[in-house]
Amino acid sequence: MSAKPMTLLVIVTEAVLEDILIDEITELGAHGYTIVDGRGRGTHGTRSGRWTQGGNIRIEVIGNAQLCERIVDRLKTAYEHNYGLLMYTAPVELQN
């Protein structure tokens, strides 16, 4: 078994940004991503997920550290100010 060390980037943000962020992430070089719908509460208030546009999404991207850093920098400058946005990374080992 040869596990590859990679970085997992998790982005929690507003559902309305989904299409835009997918474009950004793909342009920055991500080969794939996984998106799940969610709801929750943060400094931008409660996002109940009741309406299609009123919910949160969680985007997961796995890539090398540089890619994740590029994405984080880009989203920070462009979206952090006006949108609910939470990002975190974690080291993961890719098994396949």
Partner 1 sequence: MQFEPVVLFFLLGVFAGLVRSDLKIPGSIYDALSIFLLLAIGLQGGVKLAEFPLSELILPSLAILFVGSLIPLVCFPVLRYLGRMTRADSASISAHYGSVSVVTFSVGVALLAQEDIDFEGFMIVFLVLLEMPALVIGVMLARYGAGTVRWGKLFQEVFFGKSILLLAGGLVIGFVAGPEGIKPLDILFFDLFKGILALFLLEMGLVAASRITGLRDYGLFLTSFAIITPLLSAVVGTILGWALGLSVGGTMLLATLYASASYIAAPAAMRIAVPQANPALSIGASLGITFPFNIFVGIPIYFWMSQFIHSLGA
The DSSP secondary structure of 7-35, one letter per residue, reads EEEEEEEEGGGHHHHHHHHHHTT----EE
52 binds partner 1 per the rule CB under 8 A: yes
Please, which residue, 13 or 67, has the CB nearer to partner 1? Answer: 13
Among 4, 27, 29, 37, binds partner 1 (CB under 8 A): 37
Q: 62: phi > 0 → left, psi -120 to 50 → alpha, else beta; which?
A: beta
Among 3, 16, 65, 90, binds partner 1 (CB under 8 A): 16
Residue type for 22, please? I
**Structure tokens given for 21:** 């962020």
Q: Which of these ranges, 4-12, 26-34, 52-60, 67-75, lies near partner 1 under the rule CB under 8 A?
A: 52-60
82 binds partner 1 per the rule CB under 8 A: yes
40 binds partner 1 per the rule CB under 8 A: no
Binding site for partner 1 (CB under 8 A): 14, 16-17, 19-20, 37, 45-46, 48-55, 79, 82-83
